[in-house]
Amino acid sequence: MKRIGVLTSGGDAPGMNACIRAVVLTAAAYNLDVVGFHHGYNGLLDEDYQTLLPQHVQHIIQHGGTILKSARCKALYTDAGAVQAAQVLHKLQLDALVIIGGDGSFRGALAIAPHYHGQLIGVPGTIDNDVDGTDFTIGFATAIDTALDAIDKIRDTADAFERIFLVELMGRHSGYIALSAGIAAGAEQIICPEFGPVSKAQLTKLLAPIQHAQLLRGKSSYIMVVAENSYPGGTIALAEDLSAELGTECRACILGHIQRGGKPVGADRILATKLGAYAVEQLVNGAHLMMAGELNQQAVLYPLAQTGERTKQIDPYLVRWQQQIASD
Ligand code: F6P
């Protein structure tokens, strides 16, 4: 093995730069050349890349975003796109490609695989923590802290006005961020896909704990953390529907992309460094179509094809506890 490529794909996550750095520094230790593609798979299709030397990754470990830029690439999921991607990898004489992204980005690698003679390895980078085969994804820990900072601030104003607030957090179809940040923020109620669907017809399910908390516990503020995609029409519609039912104004705050930015916290820098380094080492050992993940603090290889099976469970103990305190 002489030359490898690396790209960041899908929703950027704090710690992606730390991972690029680890890939480049580890590759240098094995005398491998590294090429970094810009804008995810788009850079691969467009042959938009740069050589990455250790000096190019100096002092990037502390920055959010990704120096390689990121994107989602529809063209890759056509046969022509996958063939073209493999052709570019062959043309640039790349023996392997490291893909830093979520399971959607790993599907791109699986599409390229039948046409490519080299090795493909994934590293889980997404704030959503929804990738099977790793306890945590790069970016999740930072996203939780960012969400917490915001929810703590909302608590101040919610307390001052004795208001009910709904705070929508990201996660696509996973409630990992919502449940974790909600618990850490002391949210009174958490709505996420794992707790079952909520529709307008089932609003009473949400109302009872609010009325209970207000009447019996004299709560001055009430924070409901809502995972995105939890309510038809979205979280603003949910706030309006709750306002109508309760006869009191509920405010909604959509945290949005703020959760994707910022300096990566220590845990993300360490995870990104470990998994980026491990991915390169395992390529040298011959790994192909695997993801470099971490389970029980051990770096492990996990089949790329199984990373999107959604078997990963949110901590059932915390789920039970949260549901219990919401209704007590
Ligand atoms: O996968 C990361 C993520 O931030 C999700 O939490 C969110 O649903 C999605 O990406 C948003 O994507 P976009 O940046 O394209 O709006």
Average of per-residue pLDDT values in the chain: 95
Closest CA to 34 of 45, 42, 23: 23
Tokens 């062959």 -> residue: 90
Side chain identity at residue 255, one-letter code? L
Summarised one tens digit per residue, pLDDT across range 14-37 is 999 999 999 999 999 999 999 999
Summarised one tens digit per residue, pLDDT across range 162-213 is 999 999 999 999 999 999 999 999 999 999 988 888 898 889 888 988 887 7
Per-residue pLDDT band at 328 (split at 50, 70, 90)? low
| Distance, CA of 319 to CA of 37 (rounded, Å) | 40
| CB of 227 closer than 6 angstroms to any ligand 1 atom | no
Per-residue pLDDT band at 327 (split at 50, 70, 90)? low
DSSP string, 179-241: HHHHHHHT-SEEE-GGG----GGGTHHHHHHHHHHHHHH--S-EEEEEETT-STT-HHHHHHH
Q: What are phi and psi of 158, to 5 degrees?
A: -65, -40
Closest CA to 103 of 312, 309, 307: 307
Q: At residue 10, does pLDDT exceed 90?
A: yes
Q: At residue 116, does pLDDT exceed 70?
A: yes
Least confident window among 40-44, 46-50, 157-161: 157-161
| CB of 128 closer than 6 angstroms to any ligand 1 atom | yes
| % of the chain exceeding 70 in pLDDT | 98
Summarised one tens digit per residue, pLDDT across range 166-177 is 999 999 999 999
CATH number of 142-260: 3.40.50.460
Summarised one tens digit per residue, pLDDT across range 310-325 is 998 888 898 888 888 8
Q: Tell me which residues are annotated as active site.
A: 128
Nearest protein Cα to ligand 1, atom 10: 11
DSSP 24: H
Q: At residue 216, does pLDDT exceed 60?
A: no
| % of the chain exceeding 90 in pLDDT | 85
Span from the CA of 10 to the centroid of ligand 1 (angstroms): 8
Structure tokens at 64: 């959010």
The boundaries of every CATH 3.40.50.450 domain in the chain are 3-139+264-306
What is the pLDDT at residue 5?
Answer: 98
Distance of CA 237 to the CA centre of its chain: 25
Q: Is 134 in contact with 303 (CB distance < 8 Å)?
A: no
Per-residue pLDDT band at 217 (split at 50, 70, 90)? low
The boundaries of every CATH 3.40.50.460 domain in the chain are 142-260
**Range 62-79 average pLDDT:** 96
Nearest protein Cα to ligand 1, atom 7: 172
Please classify residue 317 by burial: count the beta carbons closer than 10 Å to its beta carbon, then call 0-12 exposed, 13-18 middle and 19+ buried.
exposed
In CATH terms, 3-139+264-306 corresponds, of 3.40.50.620, 3.40.50.450, 3.90.190.20, 3.50.50.60, to 3.40.50.450
Summarised one tens digit per residue, pLDDT across range 238-259 is 999 999 999 999 999 999 999 9
| Distance, CA of 250 to CA of 235 (rounded, Å) | 11
| CB of 260 closer than 6 angstroms to any ligand 1 atom | yes
Summarised one tens digit per residue, pLDDT across range 256-279 is 999 999 999 999 999 999 999 999
Q: At residue 214, does pLDDT exceed 90?
A: no
Specify the ligand 1 atom closest to the Cα of 13: 2
What is the pLDDT at residue 204?
Answer: 87
DSSP 74: G
**Range 77-83 average pLDDT:** 96
Q: Give the list of residues 6+ apart from residue 140 with CB closer than 8 angstroms, or none.
A: 13, 126, 127, 128, 129, 176, 177, 180, 268
Q: What is the 3-state secondary structure (H, E, C) of 238-292?
A: HHHHHHHHHCCCEEEEECHHHHHCCCCCHHHHHHHHHHHHHHHHHHHCCCCCEEE
